[in-house]
Amino acid sequence: MVIRYLLADGLSLLGNSVAAVALPLLMLARTGDAAATGAVAAACALPMLLAAVVGGLVVDRFGRRRTSVAADLASATAVAALPLVDAAGGLTVTAFVLLGVAGALADIPGMTAREALGPDIAAATGTPLERLAGMREGIGGTVLIVGPTLAGGLIALVDPSTVLWLTASCSLLAALVTMTLPDGVGGPTATGRGGSVAEIREGFAVLRGDRILRALTVITVARVAVLGPLQGLLLQAHLLAVGFPAGAGLVITAMALGSLVGAGLYAAFGATWPRRRVLVWSTVVTAFGIAGMGALPPVPVLLAAAALAGLGSGPLPALVFVLTSERIPEAVRGRVLGLQTAGIMVAGPAGLLVAGFLIEGAGVATTGGLVIAAWIAVSVLALVSPALRNLEAVRADHR
């Protein structure tokens, strides 16, 4: 059951990573408008945010397994429609927007459903949450390397529209694999009584009322707000300035490889490691790596810093997964995870917006220094937060 769960999750991630490379190229090829990508992203932003909040309620009402299957099937349909419409000669910016929104409305609840399903799989199979979380993060790191590489290789051979059939196939296979999980795993937990708004508020009350969940959410959102601009904008501008734009892919690969090692170690030993020690080690090592990246050094040093940042950050998402799984009551798990996802989705674009203005106004080097300062501030917050000081007591209380 664990293998099937991880396989479905990995397939869905692989499809999304391939689409992330193929879709922008397809839009540029068909519309000839570089702004088309931005238009689609902007059009999808609000629906994705709403999908994150409402999708959590859908997960609790209809069940994690069922929602995951339905979301992957809907995503496969939306993606498959793109090459079909393209073959009919009708791919315009409007078509990209409509199908992009449809895909986003399916993807976000699906992500929430799979994350919410994890603790059910662990409980049903007797697998330690730490091991499941580490394996899940390790697969995610592997996909981050394999997906874009596979997409790039295929695009060199066939049209980007054809490559999207791989994304649709991955989503379809993910749905079929999830369907093989037992019916009793990941069933509905919300009754639907009291109205949708009241049920969403119930999830927010849990998130606000638990100091550990609150601290983890704030720190995770803050990390995304800083890391997103570093990876997606600052390093790109720096590498372009030094005449090595292809280095951006190498940096991502270095981080992914480091993260794969860190997540693998957590999967193997996380159940016996003191949680506070994992938090401190991961936070400090990642801070050194991010500081090295933000300093915008020569490319070889930059790659070493990226690998160090990945190594340190690898165990942290797995630890957060474990802690949130233990703290969130089962009845509202989907809603709380959906609210956390909504915060993360706001943080990324907001960070990119601020970083863009800083780069234009203060320059790349100054923005890099500000990124380092912001990351150090987030790291200090994680280390001094009273809610995260005695995590072993949390483990004991849960067990």
If DSSP codes are grouped into helix, strand and coil, which group holds residue 158? coil
The parent domain of residue 221 ranges over: 204-398
User: What distance in Å separates the CA atoms of residue 256 and residue 323, rounded to the nearest whole number?
Assistant: 23
Q: What is the pTM of this model?
A: 0.86
* 326 Cβ contact list (under 8 Å, min separation 6): 129, 394, 395, 398
- In this prediction, residue 43 carries a pLDDT of 66
User: What distance in Å separates the CA atoms of residue 230 and residue 369, rounded to the nearest whole number?
Assistant: 11
CATH number at residue 345: 1.20.1250.20
- In this prediction, residue 398 carries a pLDDT of 46
Identity (one letter) of the amino acid at 399? Answer: R
Find, among 356, 144, 121, the residue nearest to 234 by Cα.
356
Together in a domain, 351 and 300: yes
Together in a domain, 277 and 314: yes
Together in a domain, 155 and 212: no
- In this prediction, residue 40 carries a pLDDT of 67
Together in a domain, 232 and 163: no
Together in a domain, 215 and 319: yes
- In this prediction, residue 385 carries a pLDDT of 92
User: What distance in Å separates the CA atoms of residue 137 and residue 266, rounded to the nearest whole number?
Assistant: 10
User: What distance in Å separates the CA atoms of residue 20 and residue 217, rounded to the nearest whole number?
Assistant: 26
Residue 246 lies in a domain: yes
Q: What is the pLDDT along the chain (399 residues), one digit of tens a residue?
A: 899 999 999 999 999 888 887 887 787 777 776 556 666 666 677 778 888 888 899 999 899 999 999 999 999 999 999 889 888 877 777 887 788 778 878 888 999 999 999 999 999 999 999 999 999 989 988 888 888 888 878 888 888 888 889 999 999 999 999 999 988 888 877 766 667 888 888 999 999 999 999 999 999 999 998 988 888 778 888 888 888 877 777 888 898 899 999 999 999 998 888 999 999 999 999 999 999 999 999 989 999 999 999 999 989 999 999 999 989 998 899 999 999 988 888 888 788 778 888 888 888 889 899 999 999 999 999 999 999 988 875 554 444
